[in-house]
Chains A and B, each alone.
Chain A
Amino acid sequence: MMRARGWLAALPMLTLLAAGFAAPIAIVAVTSLMPPRTFSLTGALALSNYLAAFTEGYWRPLMWSALGALATTAICLVLAWPTANALMRLGGRVATLVAILIALPIFISESVRLFGLSLFLMPGGGILAGTLNELFGIRIGSILNTRLAALIGLVYIHFPFVLFPLMLGLGLVPRDQVEAARDLGASGWQLFREIEAPLAAPGAAIGAMLCFVLALGANAEAAILGGRAVTVATQAIEQRFSYAQDWPQGAALTMLLVLITALVVIPLLRRVDLDRLIGR
């Protein structure tokens, strides 16, 4: 009886998930097994698109996306840890203000922010190069349209998604355990490794997952800041679907991207104690 009611209560959510999540994935999965350049879902199933993904060079955009997402996550974690620690230690109004300043840009369109960054980095009359030239007579080149610029864009956009879960995680580290570790002779690094990192791990993992998944699917950074220097997975997929009119190939690449996401997210989720993070 109770069980039946539970299912009944879950029905709206289940319907939504089935229609909005499971069904599209299933359709994409089937499409990815269709013969190349066809538009039906009833052809003979084949793995040729997946083979083509590796033989025809599509692995490059996948690799760039995966590497970019990994690097972004790692850099964001390294930058966010001391920031989160400082904000937690600072506490009070100043910390709230800084947190708001970091969070606010999320409400502005990503492209707008990236174009802003692009103006900043532009050579010659760009904000950075122009100012340096005008004030100090220093002439610099520009990293615009390089992989580095795309990576900086990725870090810039995704930093808050790591910072805030991490702050939540660090909030879980009991103050007295930190003090006890200090008292027992832990140096700053040992404190991090033995106490803070393991106890704040749920927050760090959530932040890292958010960052990785978002960065894996990102393309504006590469398009706006990276110029032609790099093609990312989503860009390749879009090309397959639109210009190339090769839906099965696009679907196969999509499935590979989903696979990479799953390979990263599922093991992490299994290890992280989410209940602890929400205080259960």
Chain B
Amino acid sequence: MTAGQDGRAFLVLDGLTRRFSGRPAVDGVSLSIPEGEFFTIVGPSGSGKSTLIRMLAGLERPDAGRILLRGADITAMPANRRPTCMVFQSLALFSHRSVGENIAFALKMRGVDAATRRARALELMELVRLPADYLDRPVTQCSGGERQRVALARALASDPEILFFDEPLSAIDYRLRKILEMEMKDLHARTGKTFLYITHSLEEAMVMSDRIAIMRAGRIVQIGPPREIYARPNSRFVAEFMGEVNVFAVRGGRIEGLDRPAAAQSGFLILRPEALRPLGPADHADVSFPARIETGYLLGSRSQLHLSALGRRLVAELPGAAAAELRPGQEGRWGFDLADAVVTPE
């Protein structure tokens, strides 16, 4: 697919590159995002996510590459003219303005009259579930979750073609984050807008996204729907980014430590913790071995176990009930089916 030729292409990044004192922070990123998609870019801290999204918003100038929106080249368009809007990591609410003034800021910039601005602010507050009496409250008096909603409403006020989010939930505690994740997804569905979301949490990305791109050191290493990223990581990096996994090296076409042929000459065999299971006397698995349980933790409805097996450590995850009788120190046979494992080339 060439940039701009895909009929569905709404936002197209073509070889976007940004260097800081010679070192590339974003290194030739090409992407195509269809209209209305919830697209998430996930990567560890420092992988260039913020730099990428800042280039899209017009706050950072690319050293190379192009940005096309509906086929029009917006690479050189200044931030204030772009029909895009961003929710910042810090939220960047205007500290000297009220909730309503923050939300209606974009409208004021366009010369919309005060009464209309007020009415629109109230509408948006309803959309993001902020009580109407917050209108004249200083933003500095809002709680974390409320500020989040103000930032969202403010970004929506200008009716942008696409919304950018730079880790807006990273500073929010777990419970509230879960709620806001669902609200974000819901808002996406209700507004029908294109969302380009950035996070370092794959879990967050999984919950909300239509498609996910994994970013590493300025490059996109894998793109796909959440299910595919989870089931078929194309590298050890992506697999490990997803959470704890068991990695076996593959060399010369054989899986090291298991002494079995692999589907590839070299690379890694990735085994998710939930693919490992204890085997009863009558149970069968493609690969089985004796193992000893070292430690076990209860993770809500699931249990995580650390096993000593094959001369190394393995991580297993079982539903809470299945782990009920398992205790540290117990020895037994464990195993997995090769269909549940993935071989990656790198």
B95 near A174 with CB under 8 A, answer yes
Distance to closest chain B CB from A15 (angstroms): 40
A186-B80 contact, Cβ under 8 Å, with A179-B88, A181-B105, A194-B105? yes
Q: What number of residue pairs across chains A and B have CB atoms under 8 A from each other?
A: 64
Report A-chain residues with C-beta under 8 Å of the C-beta of B154.
184
B109 near A185 with CB under 8 A, answer yes
B106 near A184 with CB under 8 A, answer yes
Report A-chain residues with C-beta under 8 Å of the C-beta of B82.
183
B92 near A176 with CB under 8 A, answer yes
Partner of B92, one of A179, A187, A198: A179
Report B-chain residues with C-beta under 8 Å of the C-beta of A181.
94, 105
Taken together as a complex, chains A and B put the C-alpha atoms of A199 and B95 apart, in Å, by: 9
- Most B Cβ at <10 Å: residue of A182, A184, A185, A187: A184
Tell yes or no: A180 within 8 A of B by CB: yes
Taken together as a complex, chains A and B put the C-alpha atoms of A185 and B58 apart, in Å, by: 11
Taken together as a complex, chains A and B put the C-alpha atoms of A174 and B158 apart, in Å, by: 22
Tell yes or no: B57 within 8 A of A by CB: yes
Taken together as a complex, chains A and B put the C-alpha atoms of A180 and B147 apart, in Å, by: 14
A184 near B109 with CB under 8 A, answer yes
Tell yes or no: A256 within 8 A of B by CB: no
Report B-chain residues with C-beta under 8 Å of the C-beta of A96.
none
Tell yes or no: B110 within 8 A of A by CB: yes
B92 near A182 with CB under 8 A, answer no
Taken together as a complex, chains A and B put the C-alpha atoms of A261 and B290 apart, in Å, by: 90
Tell yes or no: B96 within 8 A of A by CB: yes
Report A-chain residues with C-beta under 8 Å of the C-beta of B58.
182-183
A187 near B109 with CB under 8 A, answer yes
Report A-chain residues with C-beta under 8 Å of the C-beta of B85.
183-184
B96 near A186 with CB under 8 A, answer no
Q: Which of B126-158 contact A (CB under 8 A)?
A: 154-155, 157-158
Q: Which of A197-211 contact B (CB under 8 A)?
A: 198-199
Taken together as a complex, chains A and B put the C-alpha atoms of A105 and B251 apart, in Å, by: 73
Report B-chain residues with C-beta under 8 Å of the C-beta of A185.
80-81, 106, 109-110, 158
Report B-chain residues with C-beta under 8 Å of the C-beta of A195.
94
Tell yes or no: A38 within 8 A of B by CB: no
Distance to closest chain A CB from B155 (angstroms): 8
Report A-chain residues with C-beta under 8 Å of the C-beta of B276.
none
Tell yes or no: B326 within 8 A of A by CB: no
Q: Nearest chain-B residue to A176 (Cβ)?
A: B92
Tell yes or no: A190 within 8 A of B by CB: yes
Taken together as a complex, chains A and B put the C-alpha atoms of A177 and B102 apart, in Å, by: 11
Distance to closest chain A CB from B213 (angstroms): 22
Taken together as a complex, chains A and B put the C-alpha atoms of A194 and B90 apart, in Å, by: 19
Report B-chain residues with C-beta under 8 Å of the C-beta of A176.
88, 90, 92
Q: Which of B44-66 contact A (CB under 8 A)?
A: 57-59
Distance to closest chain B CB from A205 (angstroms): 14
A179 near B109 with CB under 8 A, answer no
Taken together as a complex, chains A and B put the C-alpha atoms of A187 and B111 apart, in Å, by: 12
B79 near A183 with CB under 8 A, answer yes
Q: Nearest chain-A residue to B88 (Cβ)?
A: A176
Q: Nearest chain-B residue to A187 (Cβ)?
A: B80
A179-B79 contact, Cβ under 8 Å, with A185-B110, A199-B96? yes
Tell yes or no: B86 within 8 A of A by CB: yes
Taken together as a complex, chains A and B put the C-alpha atoms of A199 and B88 apart, in Å, by: 19
A183 near B59 with CB under 8 A, answer yes
A182 near B80 with CB under 8 A, answer yes
Partner of B79, one of A174, A177, A182: A182
Taken together as a complex, chains A and B put the C-alpha atoms of A186 and B85 apart, in Å, by: 12
Taken together as a complex, chains A and B put the C-alpha atoms of A186 and B96 apart, in Å, by: 16
A183 near B105 with CB under 8 A, answer no
Distance to closest chain A CB from B89 (angstroms): 8
A180-B94 contact, Cβ under 8 Å, with A186-B80, A194-B105? yes
A183-B80 contact, Cβ under 8 Å, with A176-B88, A194-B105? yes
Taken together as a complex, chains A and B put the C-alpha atoms of A180 and B84 apart, in Å, by: 12
Report A-chain residues with C-beta under 8 Å of the C-beta of B110.
185
Distance to closest chain B CB from A177 (angstroms): 5
Taken together as a complex, chains A and B put the C-alpha atoms of A181 and B79 apart, in Å, by: 9
A179 near B59 with CB under 8 A, answer yes
Taken together as a complex, chains A and B put the C-alpha atoms of A12 and B88 apart, in Å, by: 50
Taken together as a complex, chains A and B put the C-alpha atoms of A169 and B155 apart, in Å, by: 27
A177-B105 contact, Cβ under 8 Å, with A182-B79, A183-B80, A186-B80? no
Report A-chain residues with C-beta under 8 Å of the C-beta of B59.
179, 182-183
Q: Which of A178-236 contact B (CB under 8 A)?
A: 179-187, 190, 194-195, 198-199
A-B contact pairs, 10 of them (CB 8 A): A174-B92, A177-B92, A179-B59, A179-B88, A179-B92, A180-B88, A184-B106, A184-B158, A185-B158, A186-B80
Additional A-B contacts beyond A177-B95, A186-B105 (7; CB < 8 A): A176-B88, A179-B88, A183-B57, A184-B109, A184-B155, A184-B158, A194-B109
Q: Which residues of B contact A (CB under 8 A)?
A: 57-59, 78-82, 84-86, 88, 90, 92-96, 105-106, 108-110, 154-155, 157-158
Q: Which residues of A contact B (CB under 8 A)?
A: 174, 176-177, 179-187, 190, 194-195, 198-199
Give 7 closest A-B pairs by Cβ, nearest first: A176-B92, A180-B92, A185-B109, A184-B106, A182-B79, A176-B90, A185-B80
